[in-house]
Amino acid sequence: MAAEVTRACSIIGKTRKNKGKSRQKVPNERQLLCEKPRILAIISGCRQFRFIFEGIMNILLINPPGENVVAEFQDSKGKGFLEVDDFGKFPPLGALYVLSYAEKYLPDHHFYFLDCVAEKISHADLPERLAEIAPDIIGVTSFTISLMDAIKVAEAARDVVPGAHLCLGGHHATDFPLEAAKLDEFDSIVVGEGEQAFASLIENIATGKEITGIAGVYTRDTIEAHARLNVRDPRFRGSMPVPPAYIEDIDILPPPDRHHVAHINYHSVVGMDARLATMITSRGCPCKCTFCNVPCKQYRPRNLGLVMDEIEECRRMGYREFHFYDDLFNITSRRLEEFCLALKERNLSVVWDFRGRVTGVTRESLALAKSLGLRLIFFGVETGSDEGLRLLNKGCSIAQIRQAFQWCRELGIKTVADFMIGLPHEKSVDDVRENIDFLISLRPDYAQIGIMNLYPHTEIYSQAVEKGLVELNRWSEWAKNPTRDFRVEHWTEFLSEEELVRLHRESYRRFYFRLSYIMRSIVGLRSFHEFKSKVTGALKLLILQ
């Protein structure tokens, strides 16, 4: 054993000498350690030993495989819904922001990123990739619905790199911090906005300091000491069980380092160019829609000069189409106009789209945006009656929705209508069909139709609890011990889940398989990628029927 440890030290010494040269040599040399499990266990068990001889760490962020994502539900025929990937594949911007911040302020370490979903890395493939990188710290991002996949990633890491520090971040850690911190598979969690918190975690581990006291970072041993009941944080949604990490000035954040994902073809089914960049120009959404579980409510816009710098960098990397993925891009029509004027000042010729509200546009702002490359807008319509909009607390009217879509048609701007069925005010099959009639009457170019999910920490979930449709602690109990048979629940006061599934398929069929829509779509094609995307989407819709 002594001889093997001496050999391991020799390898580490060579690695240190190569510091500052090619980063690619580091994983190859360290992979030799992974082939010697006993040595790896000894060295991983004493971080100080490794840091003294090496001086640097390998940091890996992982977007887990999507093999065990919580399903909405399946009907008796075993058919489910369209998956998110059926509408496109987008990079996990949150994780890339975390990585870029740490990379900027801790340049001596090596940073790696695996988007297992986009790169089609399965759980079976992951151990090999972990051995190649041999990370000292692993950050895993996860939504609650993908928690089981995050846990499987951690289990694989424990086998391959047993001395690595495992940190869970993302929406799940923020939504369920008390449960997440007590998961045996992770050493720590980051609650809230993770850029500064994760960088501090890395720095403290690298220098042998305690990680307690870092804002937003918790462990199973420290979480209870910070737990609090019914403490409302106006910056976040409702009450937060523990104090979250929060960044007031988001302009301090470097843009996502897209070199980590440059080899991945992210795309949108409604896009024109297969090479698509996603960006944000702000964080937070102050709106109070009853169905939404966006954690941070405090709206913070980015400096538009920095946004333009990021667009220019993306253009140098070959991106020509941009999807702005803000929680609320056009908080006002003035903000939309300011963005357009910034594009004009830089003389940037780009194709772009955004997710927004009908109350944040005017005909003048839309005309300006169209002249500067705006191709498409995702509007949150949700339902087809003023009563429904009021119950959902949407803050808009049917008249405003119709006006916004009419302006877009007149100006040649494509639209996507985000729509839901299975809402509390839909008391019959006819009510759902009438709402789909309204959707069709808007004449959007695309529609994304979903059954409203009852997600925790939303007002509508609380209403469902009061009605006896769901149990209050259903999600938090599952988060302690997740199983594959868990399903997202829906509002079934008036319509059964079987009826909702049937109406969901019927709604897609009614919208997309109209002859008038098919002919209009063919005439409106502008690129081979757009044609390919529409054909792929149509085939998937047919399979569901």
DSSP codes of every residue in 512-544: HT-HHHHHHHHHT---HHHHHHHHHHHHHHHHH
Joined together, the tokens standing for residue 354 give: 């955004």
Joined together, the tokens standing for residue 432 give: 């759902």
CATH assignment of 265-476+493-544, among 3.40.50.1100, 1.10.10.10, 2.40.50.180, 3.20.20.70: 3.20.20.70
Residue 503, pLDDT above cutoff 70: yes
Residue 488 neighbours by CB distance under 10 Å? 16
Domain boundaries, the chain: 1-55, 57-262, 265-476+493-544
Residue 532, pLDDT above cutoff 80: no
Joined together, the tokens standing for residue 40 give: 């790896």
Which pLDDT score, from 0 to 100, does residue 270 have? 78
Share of the chain above pLDDT 70, in %: 82
Cα–Cα distance between 514 and 509 in angstroms, integer? 8
With bands split at pLDDT 50, 70 and 90, how would you rate the model's confidence at 260? very high
Q: What is the mean pLDDT of the chain?
A: 86
Q: What is the CATH code of the structural domain delimited by 57-262?
A: 3.40.50.2300
Q: Please give the span between the terminal C-alpha atoms of the chain, in angstroms, as a whole number.
A: 63
Which pLDDT score, from 0 to 100, does residue 517 have? 86
Better pLDDT: 371 or 49: 371
Cα–Cα distance between 439 and 206 in angstroms, integer? 55
Tokens 């000498």 — which residue? 17
Better pLDDT: 465 or 41: 465
Query: Among residues 176, 140, 117, 170, which one has the least CA distance to residue 62?
Result: 140
Share of the chain above pLDDT 90, in %: 71
Contacts of 154 (CB under 8 A, 6+ apart): 138, 140, 166, 168, 183, 185, 186
Q: 218 with 124: CB under 8 angstroms? A: no
C-alpha angle 206-211-217 in degrees, rounded to nearest 5: 120
Task: Write the pLDDT tens digit of every residue in 126-169.
Answer: 999 999 999 999 999 999 999 999 999 999 999 999 999 999 99
Cα–Cα distance between 30 and 426 in angstroms, integer? 59
Residue 189, pLDDT above cutoff 80: yes
- DSSP 8-state class, residue 256: P
Cα–Cα distance between 504 and 510 in angstroms, integer? 10
> Distance of CA 501 to CAs 154, 323, 380, Å?
34, 30, 21
With bands split at pLDDT 50, 70 and 90, how would you rate the model's confidence at 527? low
**pTM across the whole model:** 0.86
Residue 16, pLDDT above cutoff 60: no
- Amino acid (1-letter code) at residue 456: P
Q: What share of the chain is helix, strand, coil (3-state, %, to 5)?
A: 45, 15, 40
